[in-house]
Each structure stands twice: as structure tokens, then as C-alpha cells.
Amino acid sequence: MRSIKAKLIVLYSLVMIAVLSVLSIILFLSLRNIVYKPIDSSLLKRAKSIDSMIKNNSFRFSFSDINGNKYSFSFSDNRLWVYSSRYSKYFFQIRSLQGETLEKSLSLGKMSLPFSKNFKRFENINFKGKTLRLLNYVDPYDRMIIQIAYDTNREAKILNNFTLLLFASIALIMIASAVGGFVVSNRALKPINDISLKINRISNENLNESISVDGVPYELEVLVSSFNDMLKRLDKAFKQQKRFISDISHELKTPLSVILMQADMALKKERSSDEYKRAIESIKEKTDMMSKLIEKMLLLASLESKYNKMSFSEVSLEDLIKEAIALFAHKADKRGITINIDIKDRCSVKADRITLLEVFSNIFDNAVKYNKENGRIDVSVKKADRFAVVEVRDTGIGIPKDSLSKITEEFFRVDESRSKKTSGFGLGLSIVKRIVELHNGKLEIDSEEGKYTSVKIFLPIA
Amino acid sequence: MRLLVVEDEKTLADLIKEGLEEEGFSVDVAYDGQEGLFMAQNEPFDLVVLDIMLPEIDGMEILKSMRNNKITTPVLMLTAKSDVEDKVSALNIGADDYLTKPFSFEELLARIKAVLRRNFKEASNIIRIADLKLDLSTREVERAGKKIDLTAREYALLEYLALNKNRLLTRTDITEHIYNYEFDFDSNVVDVTVTRLRKKIDKDFKKKLIHTVRGVGYMIKEEE
């Protein structure tokens, strides 16, 4: 059963039924006790009175006991006249211990009170369509059983009516409580419906809106606020995505415009072959740049879903760094930059070799590109706790303080005009950060403008 | 016509300048928002080609400041974004037209001409003054059915006079609108150009169209 409402109703109906049943059984039993107690005591009194009458010989009939004593009694005794009418509500019958009838009241007529060997002291019997309360009174001395009965039709009727009333009221209470429960649970669930209506109004257009907690019950506030938190996270991710796409479109369309414009200009009228050559060269340069940019963007995008495809193995950082440096040795040489490597601790890390190489390529690329002529690049590897720390420190132009926090954002460039000169895309450090994170490591960048930039990479040791 | 191109991609800006100059416009270029805003506010351009994504101050901000300072120079926005929202908000804050990158030079030129024509309240590309006929789109000039060849500078001067027909234009007006920032304002190049233009337009005709207002400037009009 998946409905909270149905569960609630069924559960508390069951509880209600149990409580009401116990209650009605108690009520019924105590009422019965109240009804039968005086009857029983009066029957006992009557039995004792007949017994004493027999003992006093006031009966006018006679019989012999086991000792041969003869008894007799008569109905003239005014204590017995209630038994004499056929319409009387009282009956008696005197039996021997074997069950043989010795005498019975006139009110019984030709009938007999039922008797069985294993009789109870008090019982309810059906007699000619009447309900009788019967007392089997045993007089052990006189070895006889005095059966005395009283027609309890009235009392039984009261009890019946009472039982009926009980059942009817239980049924009524159940129906009322089911309806009440339905209404209550509906009202209890209404805030949830309200919230879901509000949630329905949120689309990708208004993700920045939150659900107000006004009128939301205290118990649901937690739900609403965690939903709002989720909305915020979604909105952030969505905006980031949107910004990334708009950045991509800007970064791609601008060089594309240049290419198109260059071609248009070349074709506008007759040009000299020198002019054509220059146009084609410029187009080629832009096209090369664009294809590099596209490659970087695809790499960055693929990193988002890369983790499952990476193959981790133990990689020696020393070897990997030397491999990366080899790729930039020529470029560094051309600018007179010296690269020093200082391996303080030999470290191996669990890494995807190819992606990790991309990290160091990007960092060395920056260290060469943004360095001063005849500058230096110091690379060190050491252990710190359970991390291997690689620091690449250049003597370059540095990063302004206010740009440090944004330096790893996609397409962020410290200075547009400067990056135009150095043909950066603003993607390198985003890629580095993403890859380092995929290796459960972290990236720290520190810099002083005009002096140095230090990039520290922390990777868990294998 | 004097245009300002505000575009941070240097190559693109230079290509646009080169192309427009070949079309007879005089063009100034600003490579960032700050410079662009300063030039737009301090020089009387006939049109500004404004990129939205710029370093320092973005194109939307420049446009807003211009309009707030009551500078009504028509503005053609350039952008790499193709969102409808962007387009709408650019037009709402007072852009005259909008062009999405990448665009062809022909499209840019056609839009610039359309915006200029609208701004000078010319319904068609053809301006007629008496028997003088000027085609703004092909830059062909005829008088009494006879084609007249003009240099780019002469055409620019004639076009500016024609677009402002029956209005007196000072020498400063003319230099500011047909020459760019690099021009030396002290020279009498305007007078020289006017004289050369007169030779081609008015010399063989009885009815003179270009009039001199002594000590002030020039105007083009039909009646004597």
C-alpha cells in the first residue's frame, strides 16, 4: 500500500476497533454482572428458603430421605404462592441427587426444568421460548437438588438492546472516524500538495526562484529548505553550463568572423597576389588557432565523463615530469629559460598517465609562455603526509591578486589584450584543475605580480 | 560618413575598418570598452559598430551610458551570442540594429547603410536634388542622366551634403564627418575637396547646386 492516507486510515481504524472492542466487552460484562447479580442472590435466597421450608416440614407433600424420615409440604405456604401460577416468573423443581423429580412448582405445569449430570450452579437456559436464569442448589445433608429458575426475559431484552446499541455505536464511530480521518489526512497532506504545486511552477526559466516557507507547517520546512538548497545548486550548475556554452560560442564565433571577414575582403575586388597570400595566411593562422581551441574544449568537456574511462596505474612522478619538460625544452630554450628539477622524494602516484601528462604539459606551457626572457622554472617533488607535492615555480609576469581566485574558471584570462598576444584560451588551468580533482588531488596557485607564479599539485601517493 | 568600430578582436576590427574605408567611410577603431565609450561620447560619429563582449566595459554598458548622456548616434550591435533575449535587451536600451557573429562584410555594409538611411530619414537609396541623382547603395552619381566619376573622398563629401540637403554645414561639421581621428584639422582640405567636387558637379551646368556661405561653410540645395 503506497498511499500515506490509506495507511493512516487503516492503521488508526484498526486501533479504534481494538480499543472499542475491549471497551464494549468490558461494558457488556459489567452490565451483565449488574443485571444478574441481584437475580442470582434472590434465587439463592429463594432456594435457601425452600430448603428451610422442607427442613421445617412445612411442605404438605411427603417423601422419605435416606434415613427414612418423611417430609411433606403444602403450597398453601404463602412463601410459595409465587410459584403457583402458570403465569408466574418463578419456577422450582426438587430433584434427588440422581436427578429424579421429587416435586415441582405449579408454574412449570407439565414441563420440567432441564437437568444434566454435570450441572453448573448458575446457568441460563431456554425454556418454552423464554430465557431462564437457573440455580441448581444442592443440599448435601438432605441429598437433594433444589432447582430454582427465574424468567429473565426482561433483563435479557435489556442486555440485547444494550449489545445492539453497542454495535451500532461502534459502527457509527468507525464511519465517523474514517470520514474524519480522511478529512484530517487530506488537510494534513494539503501543504504537501501546495508545495508540489509551487514546485511545478519552477522550470529552467526560473530556477533562481525558491519556494517560500510562508504557511508551510514546521514539519515540512526541512523538506522545503532542502528542496531550495537543491534548487540553488541546480541553478548554479545550470548557469555555469549556460555561461560555458555562451563563452564557447563567443570564443568560436569571433575567430570565425575574422576568417569570414578576411575571405570577404579578399574577394571584394581584384587584389594583388601578395594581398591574397596575406589573407590566406591569416585565415590559416586563425583556423589553426580554432582547431586547437576546439581540441581543448572537447578535452575539457570529455573530462566531465572521463572518470569511468581512465585507466589508473602506478606512475613515477619523476619520469612523467621529465617527459613533460622534454615537450617544452625547445620552446624554453628559444626564450633562454632554464628549467631546474629538484626531486626531494621519489614519489609514485596512482594515475591515468595520459591525462596526468596533460596537467604538466599545461603547467609548463604556461610557465614558459608567461615567463620573462632568460627566466627560470623550478620544479620540485616532495612528500607531505600522504600526498606527493609537485611545485612548478616560474619567474614570470605573475597573476594579479584579484584574479587568483578566478584563474581556474573556464575562459578566464587575466588580461584580454595580453592573452591575444600570447594566444591563450583561458582553458589550460581549468583542464588542470579538473584532472587533478579526478585524481583526488588538489591544486594551489600562488603568485606575485611581476615576480613569480607557483603552481602546486597535491596527488595522493600510491 | 564617419564610423566608430568598437571591437576587441584586433584582426576583426582592422578588417572591418579596411573594408569600410574601401567603401568610402572614414573609420576610427577602439579596441576596448573604455576607449570606445570615450570616443563615442567625444566625437560626432554618424554610426557606431559596437561589439557586446568587450574587456573593461561591455557593449551594453557603453550603449546605456551613451543613451543616458543623450548621444543619439545610431548604434549597430555585434555579438557572438544569438540569444533572442540579448537581441531584445540590446534593442530596448537603444540599439538601432543587431548583427550576430559570424557575419559577412556585405551584410554588415548593408545594415550600416540601412541604419544611416533611416537616421537621415531617407526612404530610398536614391537621393535626387534637381537633376542630380545619388545612389547610396552603388555609390553612383549622375547629373542630367550623365554618369560622374568621383573619388572616394569626393563621394563622401557629396553624400554628406546630400543627406543634409538644404542645411548649412560648417567646415568643422564636414571634417568631423568625412575624416577620421587621424586627420589634421588645420588644413584647408575641405575647401580643396569642395572645389574639386564643384568642378565635376556644377561646372558644366547653369544651375549651381553647391553653395558657399562665406566664412561659415557649405550647403547643397535646389533653389538659388
* Tens digit of each residue's pLDDT (9 = 90 or more) over B154-175: 888 899 999 888 889 988 888 8
Q: Do A246 and B81 touch (CB under 8 A)?
A: yes
Nearest 5°: CA angle at B87, between B91 and B97?
Answer: 50
| pLDDT at residue A59 is higher than 80 | no
Separation CA B16–CA B9 (nearest Å): 11
Question: Residue B83's closest chain A neighbor by CA?
Answer: A246
- Which phi-psi region, left, alpha or beta, contains residue A244 (left: φ > 0; alpha: ψ -120 to 50)? alpha
Strands across the sheet containing A101-104: A101-104, A90-96, A144-151, A130-139, A122-127
| pLDDT at residue B186 is higher than 70 | no
| pLDDT at residue A67 is higher than 60 | no
Strand ranges (DSSP E) for chain B? 2-6, 26-30, 47-51, 75-79, 97-100, 126-129, 132-135, 140-143, 146-148, 169-170, 210-213, 217-220
| pLDDT at residue A384 is higher than 50 | yes
- Non-local (6+) Cβ contacts of A451 within 8 A are A395, A398
- Chain A neighbors of B17, CB-CB under 8 A: none
Q: Indicate the residue of A262, A268, A416 with minimum beta-carbon distance to B8.
A: A416
Nearest 5°: CA angle at A10, between A5 and A16?
Answer: 125
Q: Do B12 and A261 touch (CB under 8 A)?
A: yes
Residue type present at position A343: I
Q: Do A258 and B53 touch (CB under 8 A)?
A: no
Q: Which of A257, A269, A419 to mutate to test the interface with B (most CBs of B within 10 A)?
A: A257
pLDDT of residue B23: 86
Least confident range of A14-28, A179-193, A298-312: A298-312
Asked if domains B2-119 and B126-220 share a fold, the reply is no
Q: Indicate the residue of A246, A251, A260 with minimum beta-carbon distance to B102.
A: A260
- Asked if A93 has any chain B CB less than 8 Å from its own CB, the reply is no
Which single residue is written with the C-alpha cell 619538460?
A325
Q: Do A249 and B80 touch (CB under 8 A)?
A: yes
CATH 3.20.20.370 fits B2-119, yes or no: no
Q: Indicate the residue of B31, B101, B104 with minimum beta-carbon distance to A253.
A: B101
User: pLDDT: is B186 or A166 the higher one?
Assistant: A166
Q: Indicate the residue of B22, B55, B83 with minimum beta-carbon distance to A417.
A: B55
User: pLDDT: is A109 or B73 the higher one?
Assistant: B73
Q: How confident is the model at residue B214 (pLDDT cuts 50, 70, 90)?
A: confident
Separation CA B133–CA B143 (nearest Å): 6
Q: Which of A204, A239, A254, A280 to mutate to test the interface with B (most CBs of B within 10 A)?
A: A254
pLDDT of residue B203: 85
Q: How confident is the model at residue A274 (pLDDT cuts 50, 70, 90)?
A: very high
Q: Which of A205, A242, A245, A261 to mutate to test the interface with B (most CBs of B within 10 A)?
A: A261
How far apart, in Å, are the Cα atoms of A136 and each of A73, A75, A117? 20, 21, 11
Q: How confident is the model at residue B15 (pLDDT cuts 50, 70, 90)?
A: very high
Instruction: Tell me the average pLDDT across B183-207.
Output: 82
| pLDDT at residue A289 is higher than 90 | no
Q: Which fold has domain B126-220?
A: Arc Repressor Mutant, subunit A (1.10.10)
Domain range list for chain B = 2-119, 126-220
Confirm if B79 and B100 have CB atoms less than 8 A apart: yes
| pLDDT at residue A114 is higher than 60 | yes
Confirm if A41 and A149 have CB atoms less than 8 A apart: no
Q: C-alpha grid cell for residue A282?
A: 591569416
pLDDT of residue A70: 54
Q: How confident is the model at residue A240 (pLDDT cuts 50, 70, 90)?
A: confident
**How big is the A-B interface in CB pairs under 8 Å?**
68
HSE of B117 in the Cβ direction (CA atoms, 13 Å)? 16
Distance from CA of A247 to the nearest CA of B (A): 9
| Domains along chain A with CATH numbers | 4-160 (3.30.450), 218-303 (1.10.287.130), 309-460 (3.30.565.10)
* Chain segment A186-220, per-residue pLDDT in tens: 888 888 888 888 888 888 778 788 888 777 788 88
- Chain B neighbors of A255, CB-CB under 8 A: 9
What is the Cα Rg of chain A in Å?
53
Q: C-alpha grid cell for residue A398?
A: 605573475
Q: Do B106 and A264 touch (CB under 8 A)?
A: yes
Per the document, the length of chain A is 462
Instruction: Tell me the average pLDDT across B8-35.
Output: 90
Least confident range of A305-314, A368-377, A440-449, B13-22: A305-314
Q: Do B101 and A416 touch (CB under 8 A)?
A: no
Question: Residue A249's closest chain B neighbor by CA?
Answer: B80
Nearest to A431 by CA among A322, A330, A358, A381: A358
Q: Do B15 and A262 touch (CB under 8 A)?
A: yes
Q: N- to C-terminal Cα distance for chain A?
A: 51
Q: How confident is the model at residue A378 (pLDDT cuts 50, 70, 90)?
A: very high
**Based on the number of CB atoms within 10 Å of its own CB, is A227 exposed (0-12), middle (13-18) or buried (19 or more)?**
middle
pLDDT of residue B221: 87
- Four-CA torsion A315, A321, A327, A328, nearest 10 degrees: 160
User: pLDDT: is A122 or A54 the higher one?
Assistant: A122
Separation CA A458–CA A384 (nearest Å): 9
Separation CA A290–CA A294 (nearest Å): 6
Least confident range of A48-62, A155-169, A208-222, B190-204: A48-62
Q: Do B103 and A249 touch (CB under 8 A)?
A: no
| pLDDT at residue B200 is higher than 50 | yes
Separation CA A337–CA A359 (nearest Å): 20
Confirm if B157 and B134 have CB atoms less than 8 A apart: no
Instruction: Tell me the average pLDDT across A137-165.
Output: 85
Q: Do B83 and A246 touch (CB under 8 A)?
A: yes
3-state secondary structure of B188: coil
| pLDDT at residue A150 is higher than 70 | yes
As for the ipTM of the complex, it is 0.75
Q: Do B11 and A286 touch (CB under 8 A)?
A: yes
Q: How confident is the model at residue A419 (pLDDT cuts 50, 70, 90)?
A: very low
Distance from CA of B32 to the nearest CA of A (A): 9
| pLDDT at residue A65 is higher than 60 | no
Q: Do A257 and B105 touch (CB under 8 A)?
A: no
| pLDDT at residue A72 is higher than 70 | no
What single-letter DSSP state applies at residue A318? H
pLDDT of residue A307: 66
| pLDDT at residue A382 is higher than 90 | yes
How far apart, in Å, are the Cα atoms of A34 and each of A46, A104, A131? 19, 29, 17
HSE of B216 in the Cβ direction (CA atoms, 13 Å)? 9
In chain A, pLDDT over 70 holds for what percent of residues?
A: 92
- Asked if A284 has any chain B CB less than 8 Å from its own CB, the reply is no
pLDDT of residue A375: 92
pLDDT of residue A334: 92
| pLDDT at residue A18 is higher than 80 | yes
Instruction: Tell me the average pLDDT across B184-195.
Output: 78
Which single residue is written with the C-alpha cell 556661405?
B213
What single-letter DSSP state applies at residue A82? G
Instruction: Tell me the average pLDDT across A101-113.
Output: 81
Separation CA B157–CA B161 (nearest Å): 6
User: pLDDT: is A44 or A2 the higher one?
Assistant: A44
Q: C-alpha grid cell for residue A175?
A: 464511519
User: At B52, phi and psi to the nearest 5?
Assistant: -80, -50
Q: How confident is the model at residue B184 (pLDDT cuts 50, 70, 90)?
A: low
How far apart, in Å, are the Cα atoms of B191 and each of B118, B171, B197? 29, 8, 10
Range from A180-189, B59-68, B122-131 that averages highest in pLDDT: B59-68
- Non-local (6+) Cβ contacts of B14 within 8 A are B29
* Chain segment A421-439, per-residue pLDDT in tens: 556 778 889 899 989 998 9
How do strand B217-220 and strand B2-6 relate by DSSP bridges? unpaired
Nearest to B143 by CA among B159, B135, B134, B131: B131
Q: How confident is the model at residue A418 (pLDDT cuts 50, 70, 90)?
A: very low
Instruction: Tell me the average pLDDT across A168-184.
Output: 86
Separation CA A111–CA A104 (nearest Å): 9
Q: How confident is the model at residue A338 (pLDDT cuts 50, 70, 90)?
A: very high
- Asked if A219 has any chain B CB less than 8 Å from its own CB, the reply is no
